[in-house]
Structure 1
Amino acid sequence: MGLAFSAVSTVASGALSGAGGEAGRRISERLYSLLGRARPEAGATLPVTESERADAARDLLELSGNSQELADEVAEWLREASWLARRTAPTAPARPRMLPPSTSVFTDREDVVEWIEALPDEGDGPFVGVLTGPGGIGKTAVAVRGGSRLRERFPDGDLFVDLAGDSAATALTPSDVLARFLEALGVAPDRIPGDEARQRDLYRTLTADRGLLVVLDNAHDDAQVMPLIPASPTSLTLVTSRHRLTRLTAHHGARPRTLTPLSTEDAMLLLTRTVGRAAPEAAVRAVAEGTGGYPLAVCTTGAGLAEREHLSWERVARELRQDAGGSPVTDDPVRLAHDVSYAELAPDAAAFYRALGSWSWPALTVPLAAQAAGVDESAARSLLELLARVHLLEEVAEERYRFHDAARAHARELALTEDGHGRVAAAVRRVAVATLKSTARADHQVMPLRWRVGPAYRNLREQPQPGDAKRALEELSRERENTAAVIRAAAHHGFDDLVWQLCEAMWSLHLRLGFHAQWIDTHLLGAEAARRQAAEFGDPRAVGRVLVQLAFAYMGVGRADDASDALAEAVAADRACGHLRGEASAVETAGLLQLRLWNWREAGRRFQEARGIWERVADGDDGWADKARAVALLDLHTGRAESGAGEFDAALGRLNGALVGFRSLGPLGDRYNEGRVYMCLGELHLNAGDLEQALVCLDNAVAVMTAEGAGVQLADAVEVRAGVYRRGGRRGEEAADLRVAEEWYLRLGDLAGAGRVQERLGELGE
């Protein structure tokens, strides 16, 4: 029962999200066929909820008891489903090393480090330690130091993340972190599940038997942390937070430890190490006492003294004890240290520091910093290096910087008080405009033929060269957290025109790689922005565009009802503004949703409705140039729906019509989609038992995909053709096709696909 339930859940989730590709679709449709035979009176619907999936699993078990033939069919389906599950899990999980280097000036805290080192010896794991204390007290440094001492005891690697939990607004979601960790553990980005529950299940599966060290820095609350604790009893998780995490202690037996300030002697030692030169003991003591023993304040002050030799220890000590009016200061030594360092900055560096505080950017890159401050990239590069030297920034990778949360709050407060809201908003808009330009350009390189609404695409006509799409997708992935932050910042400042366009420009990233939590979060903002724009003087077509993209995100996390609602609103919005192309696209997507839910006839009805809308698109209208191709695609979709409903003759006629449609597009036609039609025709004939006609169609599909260089589809077509040879008892041809499929799957990095065909080759004795 457990195996059947797991298989049904995997296949049903993949069917709705589309994550399983063509192989997943076929396995889903075979499940539909099996469940239809189990309950012929009711008909099968895609099991979405847990109870529906449990019922489906029971139906499969009951069906397998009816005859040996059915038992064999169910067993074969379970085997296929198990390979679909393996698509997400790497054959050889990676050994991540994400822990940052420990600082060379680390001082004292030996008792805390020894406490961390002793955690794995305290009974049964998984082991969890929590370091709490105010900002700047040194929690991260201690966790990294302790973790680096323990690295050899965790041979399967270490994971590290800054959870950005200084506020609820900046805190990363568990889903975002799980996606990052799964990728570090070897899961390909395009195979990471869309919803948090399945991400958590996969994370637990991959960590269950591994000795891992996990450092979760700057947590906001228990809910952010609990899904990230690995399942292995030989793992250790270190959490740092400003807040007490009582549920973590209650549910996971976490050991809490509160950090206190350094003693004056240790603060003096850390200060001397940071400055790197000797000074009178009295002066060092006075400065150390002024920092209150907070390591961040000590390091920031020491970095200023090291950078500026003209700065006297006595002057710094005075400034740490007095505010601008000469009054004693004792409440916030970290803020005071930042004030002292900031006061020593030249005017251009001070303005640059404030501009960086315009928003909570996850990473400060040279282009982003240049736009925020309104300077060129050469100046931005030099100023970033300067701020890092005086410890107001930290360099976390080559030309990528970040604020400590206390420094970020300090910079933002100064920006608002010294520059005002107008300049802060202007900095955000410059960043948003530049981000939109680069994101739209990358999106266009990944998917050059996709139609767009936003004006950011108007001048993008250059066709990408080989390799451009891969590099562009990598760039979109690398900057995705910054782009999401830009969308939130633009929404906060009311830049609606930029918000929805940024969402549109993220389409290729999300469609190819997922990151569904971010996708939904940003596109909800994008939909609101588009609605406000439409109510004023913006482009009303944007509403439907963003909502259709949002619907795909909902499908990815299994929220079919939310996807349906978003599509209904998109249809209404495009209909209201007379945007026929957008309306047809929204109706078509609604049909694709019904197709994934096994509602074949409703899907066919939606596709025919979309076809009727396209028929009204006239010469000169938006989409006229793409009309013939769009209609042919709808015939392809409709043929798939009719095939699913068991309407062989209707599906055959429809698919042949799609073939004619694609061939009529001109000298080049649309060969890729011709190949897709041949694949559908091959499957249609195979399901009808006509093996010879299936082979004719699949031969054509293989030829087209070979000519088009479509490796993923070619591997799939060859594997399906091998299945036809298998049905016909032609073992030699089957083995030859399986070897070709194996070669392509390995070339594409699809280890699960390769494993699937290798298993079959083994059965053939190859």
Structure 2
Amino acid sequence: MGRESRLETLHGALLAKAGQPVLFGDLVRAVWGDEPPAGPLPALRSLVRRLRQSVDDEIVTDASGYRLVVRRPGPAQLPADLPDFVGREEELAALCSTDSPVLAITGPPGVGKTALAVRLAHRVRDRFPDGQLHVDLRGFATGPAVTVEQALGRFLRALGVPPANIPVDLDEQVELYRAKLQGRRVLVLLDNATELSPLVPDVEGCKAIVTSRNELPGQTRLAVLADDEAGALLDRLKIDGTVDDRAELIRLCANLPLALRIAGAHLADRHLPDYLADLRGDGRLDALEIEGDAAVRAAFALSYKALPSAAQRLFRLLGAHPGADFDLPDALVLGDLSTEDGEWLVRVLVRSGLVQEAGERFQAHDLIRLFASELVGSEGPPALLRLTSFYLGTACHAAELVAPAVTRLDPLPLVLEGRTFTTTAEARAWLDARRAVLVAVVQVAPHPFASHLADALRGYLNYCGYRTDQGTMLVAGLTSARAAGDRVRETAMLNGLGHLHWRLGAYSQALESYGAAAELATSDLMKGTLLNNMGLVKRDIHDLNGALADMEAARRVSLGHPPLYLTVLSNLGTVHGVRGELRKAIEYFEEAVRLSEEHGFLIKTAVAHENLGVVHTDLGEYDRARRHLEAAWTGYQQAISAEARPNVLINMAEVAGLAGDHEKARTLASRGLELARKIDEVRVEVEALIVLDELDTAIELANRINFPLGRRKAQLKLARHDPALATELLRDVRDSGDLLLESKAVLALAEATDDATLVREALELAKAREQGAVVARAEEILAQPPANGGSTSS
């Protein structure tokens, strides 16, 4: 049987039991029958790796086999088609028949670009079975535009990329975006773009529809509706009248679809002659035209003047909202309204045609939003302050549930209290649903709300992997604080940016941000926090003397702040561990357990137990390691934080494997992998893949997220059978200064080359650092008789 047919057989065997684990042995028999290869499991793993590269279905490693998860349907993000769309048949026919990968629809505001683009997208969607992506880039809106990075982040998530796997660098985002689209047929609708950007896929089989007011290459430039098309729209809108009156309405609305639709909504309970009289009069106000479209402004003005005064006020206040859409609570806050009054007034705005309903949310054309923002005047800043205060109060409460361990700025007095949540899931759902609006609010919020909102959300954004949004918020908060000369909040924003850079592996930028913050810090708590953070970065780049100095300084200034002091204590233990001083590390972790228990800090107690479990694993003391890790897991459960700790399961899996219980190791690692993917803990995902021997996948993922330690751990397993890789790995480990990995890398090279001298070198290194597991393995190798009756080198 050839390689390709084996691949097809494997895929068929997995597909036959899609969603269920298929035993390793059953798969080997399905592929090779009664003549399995000499190493069936490695051969099967190699075949699975090839299959993962050739199919879109996900293949999950379970404890006893592989499980195929059938590819989910592609994204379906197209907005609903307009039921009253008319005309444009000539343009539609031309656009549908072209093979161009980019269909650009341009024209003045209100001419119906979006309506045509959506109609076109629905007409051709069947040609793109792998899904449709859509984003309103808000290139001409009053609030903040959607950046290319933000839009790419949304697209990548829709294409199945976990948030934590999405790069921050634009070029890397574009590369991943195009890689995810390769081999697929996906339609991309980009509304209100200012130019052709990397959001255009440039991938064979995919197509982009782009709308813009600006000139674009290969554009279809829309003019206003022809008279007969405008008449057909009036028919759809059920606007009756004489031929002359209808013709005058079309003329006064300048044949613009948006103006005609607004007029249609306004005419629902009025006679056409009366409306025309108003439209002919001062209401047309050419001096107030929007980018030359007096007809649009006239229609807006008449609909606005017909509103009750309370609805007029709410409409004006909606001009202060910076997001792309709003919900009922937003409207209540902006207008300082009761629920009953707010619901009624929003309905009045919907009936007027100035606001459109989209599920539980509401939208307005960007020209209407511009009209509202010009009317709001002095009412705008107090309304924005109420909205920002509401969002800050709500975000603080939600973030406390979703990311409770994050130290935040002292609370601000709020103009308006936010909503509260009863469960973490409810809080997370609100944050996920409102994230885009929150990003927009931070960029326009008054000081000091911008900094506080960015600070309140950084834990959630970091925890959930929304790096681009996190960076946007922190930069906006930093700009606001610096403009106000506010050192306290500038320090907090720099600290947040330092943490973001650290998580991204940009260590020099992290130290630069932390250092700038440390120069500004005025409190011992913030100074200790920054020293601790700098110590962690230096630990990761193996500047261990610098890490110890920063940590010791942090410990001194944090004595009056128990939560921070205990964090520093545990981190000091990790630095000593990386230095190979495992017994010294244990002293710090045991003290951290004792003091955390005294203060009743459940999570910090659990963290210290987990650290003890890791160190005892290195020492080869597996029973002690297991007890500490089980205590950590119990502690996290008691603190309602077990979901966020798949790393404990991976550590327990490693202990089980080293102790010889490989089935339990795979069970724990599979469970940890599933949980890590659920909450986008990509580093833990790498560690789980290593335990499960999915080494190539682990290395690829570690490289993507700049996790060199994970890459080296995976390479350790491969290096035992590859002298060239083992040599390269040992050089890399020594260059990095990783003392605990050095003995393991030497031993891997010894096994790859069958060199007893290197085994003894690894043994001596491991003994010096009390790495019991490495010592036991080295002694086991030395006790074995030479292979083939020969002699090993000495």
Q: Same fold (TM over 0.5)?
A: yes
Counterpart of 1:210 in structure 2 is 184
In 2: Cα distance, 1:445 partner to 1:707 partner = 15
Q: 1:129 & 1:690 partners in 2: Cα distance?
A: 65
Letter in 2 for 1:239: V
Q: Which runs of 5+ in 1 are unaligned?
A: 1-74, 247-254, 618-622
CA deviations 1:102-126 (Å, max 9, x no partner) are: 111101111222223223x45xxxx
Q: How many Å apart are 1:148 and its aligned residue?
A: 0.5
Distance in 2, matches of 1:91 and 1:681, equals 40
1:662 to 596, 600, 625: 596
Change (3 A) 1:319 1:100: farther
Q: Cα gap change, 1:375/1:675 in structure 2, threshold over 3 Å: closer, same or farther?
A: closer
Tell me, in whole angstroms, the C-alpha distance in 2 between the residues paired with 1:351 and 1:461.
Answer: 22
Q: In the alignment, what sits opposite 2:787?
A: none
Supply the distance in 2 between the matched residues of 1:462 and 1:647 (Cα, whole angstroms).
49
Q: Deviations over 1:76-97 (max 9, x none)?
A: xx99xx9xx999xx98455211
Equivalent of residue 257 in structure 1, options 220, 231, 243 = 220
- Counterpart of 2:732 in structure 1 is none
Instruction: Return the offset for 1:609.
Output: 1.3
Cα deviation, residue 217, structure 1:
0.4
Alignment-derived partner of residue 488 in structure 1: 443
Superposed counterparts of 1:93-108, under 5 Å: 93-108=72-87
Are the aligned partners of 1:554 and 1:563 in contact in 2 as well (CA < 8 Å)?
Answer: yes
1:603 aligns with 2:547: yes
Matched, 1:366 2:313: no
Is the aligned partner of 1:512 residue 2:512? no
**Of 470, 494, 500, the match for 1:553:** 500
Measured in 1, the distance between the counterparts of 2:179 and 2:70 equals 13
**In the superposition, relative to structure 1, how do residues 451 and 721 fare at CA in structure 2: closer, same or farther (>3 Å)?**
closer
Q: 1:682 to 1:671 in 2, by over 3 A?
A: same
Specify which of 642, 666, 672 is matched with residue 576 of structure 2.
642
In the alignment, is residue 469 of structure 1 matched against residue 400 of structure 2? no
Q: Greater shift after overlay, 312-321 or 349-358?
A: 312-321
Task: Find the counterpart in structure 1 of residue 351 from structure 2.
Answer: 389
Q: What root-mean-square deviation, in Å, do the aligned CA atoms of Structure 1 and Structure 2 show?
A: 3.9
Partner of 2:491: 544
Secondary structure in structure 2 of the residue aligned to 1:129: strand
Cα drift, residue 331 of structure 1: 5.3
Task: Give the conservation status (yes or no) of the 8 Å contact 1:436–1:501.
Answer: yes
Using the TM superposition, give the Cα deviation of residue 245 of structure 1 relative to its aligned residue in structure 2, in angstroms.
Answer: 3.4
| Corresponding residue number in structure 2 for 1:404 | 365
CA distance in structure 2 between the aligned counterparts of 1:363 and 1:639, rounded to whole angstroms: 49
Which residue in the other structure is 2:341 paired with?
Answer: 379
Q: Which residues in structure 2 correspond to 1:617-766 (within 5 Å)?
A: 617=560, 623=561, 627=562, 629-665=563-599, 669-687=600-618, 694-695=625-626, 697-698=628-629, 700-701=631-632, 704-705=635-636, 710-712=641-643, 715-728=646-659, 730=660, 733-743=661-671, 745-746=673-674, 750=678, 753=685, 756=689, 760=693
- Say if 2:166 is the partner of 1:174: no
Residue 685 of structure 1 deviates from its aligned partner by 4.3
- Following superposition, the deviation at residue 741 of structure 1 comes to 3.8
Structure 2 CA distance, aligned partners of 1:458 and 1:406? 32
Residue 145 of structure 2: SS of its match in structure 1? Answer: coil
Q: 1:289 to 1:306 in 2, by over 3 A?
A: same
Q: 1:439 aligns with which of 395, 420, 444?
A: 395
CA distance in 2, matches of 1:561, 1:496: 29
Q: CA deviation at 1:357?
A: 1.3
Specify the alignment match of 2:260 in structure 1: 298
Candidates 521, 525, 538, aligned match of 1:581: 525
The amino acid of 2:189's aligned partner reads: V
Deviation per residue, 1:301-350 (Å, 9 max, x gap): 122112445873542552499548999x9853222222232232232222
CA contact (8 A) 2:403 2:463 kept: no
- 260-269 or 314-323, which deviates more: 314-323
> Counterpart in 2 of 1:527?
478
The structure showing larger relative contact order (alpha-carbon pairs under 8 Å, at least 6 residues apart) is 1
- CA drift of 1:634 comes to 1.3
3-state SS, counterpart of residue 357 of structure 2: strand
Q: Distance in 2 between matches of 1:279 and 1:472?
A: 53
Residue 355 of structure 2 aligns to which amino acid in structure 1? Answer: L
Which residue of 1 is the match for residue 216 of structure 2?
A: 245
**Secondary structure in 2 matching 1:238:** strand
Give the match for residue 134 of structure 1. 108
User: In structure 1, how many angstroms separate the alpha carbons of the residues matched to 2:173 and 2:286?
Assistant: 52
CA contact under 8 A between 2:142 and 2:322: conserved in structure 1?
no
Q: How many residues align?
A: 631
Query: In structure 2, do the counterparts of structure 1 residues 240 and 597 end up closer, same or farther at CA, with 3 Å as the change threshold?
Result: farther
What amino acid maps onto 1:272 in structure 2?
A: D
Query: How far apart, CA to CA, are the structure 1 residues paired with 2:395 and 2:646?
Result: 31
**Which range is displaced more, 143-152 or 687-696?**
687-696
Deviation at 1:268, TM superposition (A): 1.5
Partners in 2 of 1:587 and 1:383 — Cα distance? 53
Partners of 1:695 and 1:179 lie apart in 2 by: 40
TM-score when normalising by structure 2 = 0.71
Q: Aligned partners of 2:282 and 2:85: how far apart in 1?
A: 22
**Matches of 1:241 and 1:471, distance apart in 2:** 38
Tell me the alpha carbon deviations over residues 729-758 of structure 1, each in whole angstroms, 9 at most, x when there is no partner. Answer: x2xx22023224434544675499599489
Shift in Å, 1:458: 9.8
Alpha carbons 2:593, 2:605 under 8 Å: kept:
yes
* Equivalent residues in 2 for 1:22-101, closer than 5 Å: 92-101=71-80
1:442-479 deviations in Å (ceiling 9; x for gaps): 223334454443334899999998x6122112212211
Tell me which residue corresponds to 1:428. Answer: 384
Identity of aligned pairs, percent? 24
SS class of match (2:280)? helix
State how far apart, in whole Å, the 1-side matches of 2:73 and 2:131 are. 8
Deviation by residue 1:187-237 (Cα, 9 ceiling, x = unmatched): 344554444444333322322122111101001233xx31x2335411111
| C-alpha distance in 2 between matches for 1:191 and 1:177 | 15
Q: Quick check: 1:290–1:321 contact (8 Å CA) kept in 2?
A: no
Identify the range of structure 1 (736-745 vs 438-447) with the bigger mean alpha-carbon deviation.
Answer: 736-745
Amino acid at match of 2:107: G
Amino acid aligned to 1:544: T
User: After superposition, where does 1:110-189 map in structure 2 within 5 Å?
Assistant: 110-119=89-98, 121=99, 127-166=101-140, 170-189=144-163
CA distance in structure 1 between the partners assigned to 2:319 and 2:631 by the alignment: 59
Which SS does the other structure have where 2:577 is aligned? Answer: helix
**Matched-pair contact (CA < 8 Å) for 1:601–1:642:** no
Shift of 1:633: 2.0
Residue type matched to 1:240 in 2? T
CA distance in 2 between partners of 1:601 and 1:230 (Å): 48
Distance 2:534 2:270 in 1: 64
Q: CA, structure 1 residues 347+697, in 2 after alignment: closer, same or farther (shift >3 Å)?
A: closer
Cα distance, 1:375–1:321 mapped onto 2, change above 3 Å: closer
Q: Distance in 1 between matches of 2:524 and 2:288?
A: 69
The residue number in structure 2 matching 1:570 is 517
Other-structure match for 1:31? none
